[in-house]
C-alpha cells in the first residue's frame, strides 16, 4: 500500500490552519528527487535538468529546484515570465512550445533562453521576428510507433510535435545559413513510462540521429535533450523507476554511439515534471456527504476542478483515508466531487475502509499535473497550495481563490464589488 508523506497527526494540525481542499507538497522529497537525478547523470559533464514548469507552475517550487541546480522548461509566455521572476535566464531556460505565438518567441529571445523549434516552418517565423540565435534546438519526431522490446509504448506518428528526419537535416542546413553555430536535439516519444529502458532506448535513437546529422550537415551538436516521459507508479503494485539504472543505461548508449563518433562532449538534458514532483504532492480533501442509491457514494469537498486527471483520462490516484490506514478495505465506494458532470469521480468501485463524514482523504501523486490542470467550471474556485517544509512546518505558497478572483476579469462596473 502507498504511504502518504504526511502523518495523520501532522495533517490534522495542518487542516486547522488551511481549510480543505488543498494541494500539499513535500520539500524534502522534492530535494531528494533532484539530487538522485543529478547523481544518476553525474557521468555527463554538461548534464542539466530543466524542470517542466507546466507540471507545477509555482514560484516557491521553482526556487527549491533552482537551489538544487535545475533549470526550467517553459512552453508559454506566462511560464517564461514566472521563470524570469524567479531569477532564471539565459541557458537556464529551455523554451519548448508548439503553434507558438510571436510574442512568446520574442519574450524567449529577450531572456536569451534556448529555443527549441517544433516545426520546420518556425525557422522562417523565428528569423522574421528576432533572427536566429547561435545556439538553437529542434524537436524530432521519428514517426511510426515507438516500441521497447516489442512492446508498443506510444505512437509518435499521430503526434503533432516535431520535425521529420528529412526536415531535421534540411533544417540544420538552413539554420546554419542563418547564423546558428551550436545545435540541440529534443524528442518526447512516450508519456509516464515506468520501465528503466525508456530513456536508454530514446537516447540511442537520438545519439544515432546526432551522428547522422553531424555527418550530413557538419553541424556542432552541443546537447541532446531527452525531455520527459519518465513516469511514476500511480498504483501500489507498480514498481518505481530506478533512476540510477536509467542514468547508467544512457551512459552505456553514449559510450557506444557518441564517443566513437568523436562526440564525447555532448551534454545531456532532461525535462522531468511528473518524475520530480508527482509523488511529492497530494490533494487533501474531506468527506462531506454520503449517498446510498444504486451504488455507495462518498462526496468530498474537492472536485475535478482541483484534480481533473481521473475525469479527463480515467487516471488512477491512490486514496488513503487518514487515521484508517490499518483498517480493512471492505467498503466499495465511488468517490465524487460536486461538479454537474457525471465524470467528476476520483474513484469508481474503489475498495476503502469505512468512510465517515469529516474523514480526511489523501489523493496520492498529484504533485505534477494536479493543481496546474485546474479550471473554474461551475464557478468552482481553485484550491490553495501548501508546502510541507523540511523542518515539519508549513508555508502557504498559493492562497485559495475567492469569488472576488473569479469575478475580477469582468468589466461590469460595480456589480460584483460586494464580493
Quick check: 174 and 213 in contact, CB under 8 A? no
156 and 233 inside one domain? yes
pLDDT at residue 376, rounded to an integer: 94
pLDDT in tens, 239-290: 999 999 999 999 999 999 999 999 999 999 999 999 999 999 999 999 999 9
Question: Does the pLDDT of residue 306 top 80, yes or no?
Answer: yes
- Stretch 108-122: mean pLDDT, rounded? 98
Q: What is the CATH number of the domain that holds 83?
A: 3.20.20.10
Name the domain boundary from 278, 309, 343.
278
Q: What are phi and psi of 18, to 5 degrees?
A: -120, 115
Q: Which of 114-118, 204-208, 403-407 has the lowest mean pLDDT?
A: 403-407
pTM score of the predicted model: 0.95
Question: Which range marks the domain in which residue 91 is found?
Answer: 26-278
pLDDT at residue 197, rounded to an integer: 96
Question: Does the pLDDT of residue 149 top 80, yes or no?
Answer: no
Rg over alpha carbons for the chain, rounded to the nearest Å, is 23
Name the domain boundary from 252, 278, 304.
278
What is the rounded average pLDDT for all residues in the chain?
A: 96
384 and 397 inside one domain? yes
pLDDT bracket for residue 413 (50, 70, 90): low
239 and 348 inside one domain? no
252 and 390 inside one domain? no
Cα–Cα distance measured from residue 15 to residue 111, given in angstroms and rounded to the nearest whole number = 40
State how far the alpha carbon of 259 is from the alpha carbons of 207, 264, 346, in Å: 10, 5, 48
* Residue keyed to cell 535545475: 70
Contacts of range 168-175, beta carbons closer than 8 Å, 24 or more positions apart: 168/138, 168/140, 168/209, 168/213, 169/212, 169/213, 169/216, 169/217, 170/120, 171/117, 171/120, 171/123, 171/138, 172/138, 172/213, 172/217, 172/219, 173/217, 174/123, 175/123, 175/132, 175/136, 175/138
231 and 336 inside one domain? no
pLDDT bracket for residue 151 (50, 70, 90): confident
Name the domain boundary from 257, 278, 299.
278
Quick check: 251 and 43 in contact, CB under 8 A? yes
Cα–Cα distance measured from residue 137 to residue 118, given in angstroms and rounded to the nearest whole number = 9
- Stretch 138-143: mean pLDDT, rounded? 95
pLDDT at residue 152, rounded to an integer: 72
Amino acid at each position: 500500500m502507498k504511504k502518504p508523506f504526511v502523518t495523520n497527526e501532522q495533517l490534522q494540525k495542518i487542516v486547522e490552519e488551511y481549510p480543505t481542499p488543498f494541494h500539499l507538497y513535500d520539500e524534502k522529497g522534492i530535494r531528494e528527487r533532484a539530487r538522485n537525478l543529478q547523481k544518476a547523470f553525474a557521468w555527463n559533464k554538461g548534464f542539466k535538468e530543466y524542470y517542466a514548469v507546466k507540471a507545477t507552475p509555482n514560484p516557491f517550487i521553482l526556487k527549491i529546484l533552482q537551489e538544487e541546480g535545475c533549470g526550467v522548461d517553459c512552453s508559454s509566455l506566462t511560464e517564461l515570465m514566472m521563470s524570469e521572476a524567479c531569477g532564471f535566464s539565459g541557458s537556464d531556460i529551455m523554451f519548448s512550445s508548439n503553434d507558438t505565438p510571436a510574442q512568446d518567441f520574442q519574450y524567449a529571445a529577450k531572456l536569451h533562453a534556448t529555443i527549441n523549434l517544433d516545426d520546420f516552418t518556425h525557422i522562417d517565423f523565428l528569423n522574421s521576428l528576432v533572427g536566429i540565435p547561435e545556439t538553437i534546438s529542434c524537436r524530432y519526431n521519428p514517426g511510426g510507433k515507438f516500441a521497447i522490446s516489442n512492446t508498443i509504448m506510444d505512437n509518435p506518428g499521430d503526434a503533432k510535435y516535431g520535425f521529420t528526419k528529412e526536415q531535421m537535416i534540411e533544417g540544420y542546413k538552413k539554420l546554419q545559413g542563418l547564423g546558428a553555430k551550436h545545435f540541440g536535439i529534443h524528442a518526447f516519444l512516450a508519456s509516464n513510462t515506468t520501465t528503466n529502458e525508456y530513456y536508454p532506448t530514446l537516447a540511442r535513437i537520438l545519439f544515432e540521429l546526432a551522428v547522422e546529422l553531424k555527418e550530413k550537415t557538419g553541424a556542432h551538436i552541443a546537447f541532446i535533450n531527452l525531455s520527459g516521459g519518465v513516469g511514476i507508479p500511480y498504483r501500489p503494485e507498480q514498481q518505481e523507476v530506478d533512476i540510477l539504472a536509467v542514468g547508467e543505461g544512457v551512459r552505456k548508449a553514449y559510450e557506444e554511439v557518441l564517443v566513437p563518433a568523436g562526440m564525447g562532449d555532448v551534454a545531456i538534458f532532461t525535462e522531468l515534471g511528473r518524475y520530480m514532483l508527482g509523488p511529492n504532492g497530494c490533494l487533501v480533501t474531506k468527506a462531506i456527504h454520503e449517498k446510498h442509491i444504486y451504488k455507495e457514494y462518498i462526496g468530498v469537498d474537492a472536485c475535478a476542478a482541483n484534480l481533473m486527471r481521473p475525469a479527463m483520462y480515467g487516471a488512477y490516484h491512490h486514496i488513503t483515508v487518514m487515521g484508517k490506514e490499518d483498517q480493512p478495505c471492505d467498503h466499495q465506494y465511488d468517490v465524487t466531487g460536486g461538479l454537474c458532470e457525471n465524470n467528476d469521480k476520483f474513484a469508481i468501485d474503489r475498495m476503502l475502509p469505512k468512510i465517515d463524514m469529516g474523514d480526511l482523504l489523501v489523493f496520492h501523486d498529484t504533485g505534477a499535473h494536479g493543481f496546474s490542470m485546474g479550471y473554474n467550471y461551475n464557478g468552482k474556485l481553485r484550491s490553495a497550495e501548501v508546502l510541507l517544509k523540511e523542518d515539519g512546518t508549513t508555508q502557504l505558497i498559493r492562497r485559495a481563490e475567492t469569488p472576488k478572483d473569479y469575478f475580477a476579469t469582468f468589466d461590469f462596473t460595480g456589480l460584483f464589488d460586494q464580493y
